[in-house]
Amino acid sequence: MTAPPSVYPPAVADLMPAARDLAARLGALPSQNRIKTELRVGHRKAGVILDSLRADLAPPTADPAPPAADTTGDHAGPDPDAIPTVGITPTPPTLATDTPPPPSPLATVAAEPVPEITPAAADAGRRRRRPAPGRVWAYVGVALGGVVSIAANVAHTYLPKPPPGAPDGWTAPVDWSPSPLAIAISVFWPIALFVAVEILTRIAWGDGFWWFFARVVGVLPVALVAAVVSYRHLSGLLAHFGEDPMTVAIGPLAVDGLMVMASAALMVTSRKETTR
């Protein structure tokens, strides 16, 4: 008659032979879940069994001492209590070397000194980036004068001009319209003046006489031509709409004077930003 199975759970020592057989079949250490499934144990006991298997396969920390010489002539056999490790290849230990690891790039960057920014340097940088006072209004004046000048030049091209020898009271045909080339030329003069002003104020010219002479020779003809053409077109437009002779004579000077003053302000503020 066979004895009934024990109702108490088996101890870890009783389960170790089955655990070693499982490791031998797998050729490696089984996972904790595999031990729980195969041996039907709980999570905690499976962890203890896995730690015992790791301890069995841990490599020796030092070379064992050589056995003592046998003077009796009897040779000792293998230890019957030794645990066989059939099919399990122990992991070789990692050998420590004297070569230090290469430095990390982040550590190298962090080790570089960071230049200190003083309050005076920060304030100087803010002053350099801040535009000179009134420079925005100078651009507004140049833009406003240019827009009015372009509008007057374009509108003047739409005023029909009698051909040579036309009788008094001549009127243009109903389908008459100005030439596209005439409109393009009328727009060119104020734009040319604006580009010349930008070249004059944006470029860091020298302080010598020849630099001043080059600026005057380059900008003065463009400014004079644009001012004369704008004046004639605007005065002719005012006369066409029946303005009095005084308004026709001095009205265009407001537009040209605004552009001259705005251009001069851009030149002055540009020199201040350059010397700061």
165-217 residue pLDDT tens: 778 777 878 788 888 898 898 888 888 877 877 777 777 777 788 888 887 78
- The secondary structure element, H or E, covering residue 96 is none
Is residue 142 domain-shared with residue 27, that is, in the same domain?
no
Residue 261 pLDDT? 85
Q: Which residue type is seen at 126? A: R
**84 belongs to a structural domain:** no
Is residue 28 domain-shared with residue 146, that is, in the same domain?
no
Question: Which letter does DSSP use for residue 80 in this model?
Answer: T
Is residue 25 domain-shared with residue 153, that is, in the same domain?
no
**72 belongs to a structural domain:** no
**198 belongs to a structural domain:** yes
Q: 35 Cβ partners below 8 Å, 6+ apart?
A: 19, 22, 41, 46, 49, 50
Is residue 16 domain-shared with residue 139, that is, in the same domain?
no
Is residue 141 domain-shared with residue 271, that is, in the same domain?
yes
**79 belongs to a structural domain:** no
pLDDT of 119-131, one tens digit each?
655 555 555 555 5
Contact (CB, 8 A) for 196 and 262: no
Is residue 146 domain-shared with residue 42, that is, in the same domain?
no
Q: 92 Cβ partners below 8 Å, 6+ apart?
A: 59
d(CA 85, CA 131): 83
CA 144 to centroid of chain Cα atoms: 36
Q: 23 Cβ partners below 8 Å, 6+ apart?
A: 29, 30, 53, 87, 88
Residue 246 pLDDT? 94
Question: Which letter does DSSP use for residue 61 in this model?
Answer: S
- Count of beta carbons in the 10 Å neighbourhood of residue 70: 9
Is residue 17 domain-shared with residue 151, that is, in the same domain?
no
Q: Where are the alpha helices (DSSP H) in 118-244?
A: 119-129, 135-157, 180-202, 209-240
Is residue 145 domain-shared with residue 243, that is, in the same domain?
yes
**224 belongs to a structural domain:** yes
Q: From first to last of its 276 residues, what are the pLDDT tens digits of the chain?
A: 555 555 567 888 888 888 888 888 888 888 888 888 888 888 888 888 888 888 877 665 555 555 555 555 444 455 555 555 555 555 555 544 455 566 555 445 445 555 566 665 555 555 555 556 678 888 888 888 888 888 888 988 888 888 787 787 778 787 888 888 988 988 888 888 778 777 777 777 777 888 888 877 887 888 788 888 888 888 988 998 889 999 999 998 888 888 878 877 877 776 655 545
**47 belongs to a structural domain:** yes
Provide the residue range defining the domain that includes 28: 12-56
**201 belongs to a structural domain:** yes
Is residue 143 domain-shared with residue 48, that is, in the same domain?
no
Question: Which letter does DSSP use for residue 259 in this model?
Answer: H
**Predicted model pTM:** 0.45
Residue among 52, 3, 62 nearest 29 (CA): 52
Residue 118 pLDDT? 64
The total domain count for the chain is 2
Is residue 139 domain-shared with residue 19, that is, in the same domain?
no
CA 258 to centroid of chain Cα atoms: 41
d(CA 116, CA 107): 20
Is residue 18 domain-shared with residue 150, that is, in the same domain?
no
**236 belongs to a structural domain:** yes
Residue 109 pLDDT? 46
Is residue 22 domain-shared with residue 153, that is, in the same domain?
no
Contact (CB, 8 A) for 127 and 94: no
Place of tokens 């070789």: 92
